[in-house]
Structure 1
Amino acid sequence: MIIARRIQWSHIIFYTWKSMAYFLTLSLIVYVLHHEFDLTWVAIPFNAVATLSTALAIFLGFKNNSAYDRWWEARKIWGKLVNYSRAWGREVLNLAIDDNQPGSEELKQWQHRMIYRHIAFVHALRVFLRQRHAYNEIENELLETHNQYHDIEPFLANNDLEMVLSKRNPPNYLLMEQGDDLLRAYQRGWLSDYRYVKLHETLTEFNNHQGMCERIKNTPFPRPYSFFSRLFVFIHGTLVPFAFIEVLGPFNIPLALVINFVFITLDYIGERTEDPFENRPGDTPLTSISLTIEENLKEMMGDPNLPTKPVPIHGIVF
């Protein structure tokens, strides 16, 4: 998630330079044809392009609002995951009671296992949602830094990591293990009927959170919006130099570039917002939220080894 008020121009240029190079070349060609070869037919009515600009702006605004809704829904889901994780830690510590041996070491080990396995679930869900192929070296480095299943190893018992990694859906497997341990606690008498159901309800909420995230991850933004928005931006950008050449002359070149930069940037904003789990700079900060959950649950357990949250990288929190 980008938190800096100013976005680095290197990031902007990285995504837009090819399109801007095309528009610059086209503007130069139109200028040469009109002023050097006196081809007046290259000029087109301004009102036609102005009408298209208005329609395209409305279309891009609708697309970006819809893309933002997906991003904001992802953030709300992970906000709920934070709240239910805190509730899970409190319920595990307060609702599980051994009446026969108050303060028994076995119960404490069970509580430790349930809470730390949940931390593993949160980190595993983060990695599971961010699985994809990097598009360039910069993104590949980010994936390697912020997206490793081995991050969950400290929170699992011996040899559990190998079993988790053998599953196609590691976070779902961890929830299944949590359910099995809840059943054992109930059978041991540590949980009454009501408390067992209460903890199972909280565990089911984690299933719901994962399912909602998978729905966003596996349901792409409607492709016609993405395809036609890019197509319309390039059609509009191609026509812009022809609309101003008659009046502005050489000043048509910078003006066309500015107008096209605005529209191509609007299109990229929507494209980079529509998929919030791709581990890109503008995505939902899953790493930061996961570390917040880890910190909260460790504090509940009295663990002094709290995680260190990574500092923003060039104004970006992952």
Structure 2
Amino acid sequence: MFINRNIGWKVIFHYTWKGLIYYTVLSVTVYLLHDYYNLFHLHLPFTTITAISTALSIFLGFKNNNAYDRWWEARQIWGLLVNYSRAWAREVLIMIIPEDAEQAAEVRELQHRMIYRHIAFVHALRVFLRRPQPYNKTDLEEMYEDRNEYSDTESFLSPSEYKVFCKKNNPPNYLLNLQGEDLKRAYQRGWLSDYRFTKVEEILVEFNNIQGRCERIKNTPFPRQYSFSSRVFVFIHASLLPFVFVEEIGWASMPVSVIISFVFLTLDLLGERIEDPFENRMEGIPMTAMSLTIETNLKEHWGDKDLPKPQPAVKGIVL
């Protein structure tokens, strides 16, 4: 996620250079053939491009609003994950109570296992959501590449749990199942009353809901018709611009056409870049930073002094 107010031109040109080359070559070619070589005098009325620009603006606005809604929903979901994670640590420490002093060590071990297993769940969910989808192109910035490894979870799980965890098709869901089994054992041992078991289980269900909402966004692509149509419409619009301005303003049609085309191209790319918020792109949800926040909060709940270092922004981007 960008946190700087300004985006470097290097980043902008990285995604727009192909379009800019096309717009520039087309504008120069039209001007030379029309004014310099006097080979043709094709001229489109200004009202033509005005009508197309208006329709395209409305279409891009609709597309970008819906793409932003997906991004914002993803951010809200991970905000809930932060809140419920803090509640989970508090409830596990407060609600699970030993019946006598002899069971205190066992309960303490259970609480530690459940809190640290949840940290593993958060890191696993982040990696699970960042798996590349076949309908998305691989991002070009190697610095933001996700290796899709679950090594971040190893220190929070027992060796036997981690070995099974890595072989699962849905590793985060496997960890939630383990949490449920530990809750069941705590209830059977008398460490949880009916009411307290229900309250802690409700938080565990919320983690299922959070993962399910994330998977819905991840596995349901933004309607391809919108993405494809917007690219086609932007291309048509940019291709017609030089023929509108060359008769009116001569050589100035070249920079004017390129600038207007660049604006519409950028608007199209804005929606395209944020429509999939879990793809580990620079515009995506900063799940790594939020995972570390949750890890820090839960370790502080437990009293662990070995806290992770906050992730620094790289070129104004937090992952």
Give the TM-score taking structure 2 as reference length: 0.96
Instruction: Name the counterpart of 1:107.
Output: 107
Report the Cα distance in structure 1 between the residues aligned to 2:245 and 2:39, rounded to whole angstroms. Answer: 14
Report the Cα distance in structure 1 between the residues aligned to 2:6 and 2:182, rounded to whole angstroms. Answer: 48
Report the Cα distance in structure 2 between the residues aligned to 1:142 and 1:159, rounded to whole angstroms. Answer: 31
Report the Cα distance in structure 2 between the residues aligned to 1:148 and 1:4, rounded to whole angstroms. Answer: 29
* Alignment of 1:71 onto 2:74: no
Report the Cα distance in structure 1 between the residues aligned to 2:103 and 2:188, rounded to whole angstroms. Answer: 18
Instruction: Name the counterpart of 2:307.
Output: 306
Q: Any conservation in 1 of the 2:146–2:280 contact (CA below 8 Å)?
A: no
Q: Any conservation in 2 of the 1:30–1:42 contact (CA below 8 Å)?
A: no
Instruction: Name the counterpart of 2:82.
Output: 82
Report the Cα distance in structure 2 between the residues aligned to 1:47 and 1:154, rounded to whole angstroms. Answer: 65
- The alpha-carbon deviation at position 138 of structure 1 amounts to 2.1
Aligned residues: 316
- The alpha-carbon deviation at position 261 of structure 1 amounts to 0.5
DSSP-derived class of the 2:41 partner: helix
Instruction: Name the counterpart of 2:177.
Output: 176
Q: Any conservation in 1 of the 2:234–2:264 contact (CA below 8 Å)?
A: yes
Instruction: Name the counterpart of 1:125.
Output: 125
Report the Cα distance in structure 1 between the residues aligned to 2:102 and 2:286, rounded to whole angstroms. Answer: 41
Structure 2: runs of 5 or more not aligned: none
Instruction: Name the counterpart of 1:254.
Output: 255
Report the Cα distance in structure 2 between the residues aligned to 1:191 and 1:180, rounded to whole angstroms. Answer: 13
Change (3 A) 1:28 1:172: same
Q: Any conservation in 1 of the 2:114–2:179 contact (CA below 8 Å)?
A: yes
Report the Cα distance in structure 1 between the residues aligned to 2:166 and 2:103, rounded to whole angstroms. Answer: 34
Give the TM-score taking structure 1 as reference length: 0.96
Instruction: Name the counterpart of 1:3.
Output: 3
Find the partner of 1:138 among 141, 161, 167: 141
- The alpha-carbon deviation at position 137 of structure 1 amounts to 5.2
Report the Cα distance in structure 2 between the residues aligned to 1:41 and 1:62, rounded to whole angstroms. Answer: 36
DSSP-derived class of the 2:11 partner: helix
Instruction: Name the counterpart of 1:228.
Output: 229
* Alignment of 1:50 onto 2:50: yes
Q: Any conservation in 2 of the 1:33–1:42 contact (CA below 8 Å)?
A: no
| Counterpart residue identity of residue 286, structure 1 | M
- The alpha-carbon deviation at position 142 of structure 1 amounts to 1.9
DSSP-derived class of the 2:159 partner: coil
Q: Any conservation in 1 of the 2:144–2:282 contact (CA below 8 Å)?
A: no
Report the Cα distance in structure 1 between the residues aligned to 2:139 and 2:79, rounded to whole angstroms. Answer: 30
Structure 1: runs of 5 or more not aligned: none
| 1:284-308 superposed Cα distances (whole Å, 9 cap, x missing partner) | 1101111111111000000001111
Written as runs of structure 1 = structure 2, the 5 A alignment for 1:268-279 is 268-279=269-280
| Counterpart residue identity of residue 93, structure 2 | L
Instruction: Name the counterpart of 2:298.
Output: 297
| Counterpart residue identity of residue 138, structure 1 | E
CA RMSD of aligned residues (A): 1.4
Report the Cα distance in structure 2 between the residues aligned to 1:312 and 1:102, rounded to whole angstroms. Answer: 48
- The alpha-carbon deviation at position 101 of structure 1 amounts to 2.0
Instruction: Name the counterpart of 1:153.
Output: 154
Change (3 A) 1:296 1:286: same
Report the Cα distance in structure 2 between the residues aligned to 1:160 and 1:171, rounded to whole angstroms. Answer: 12
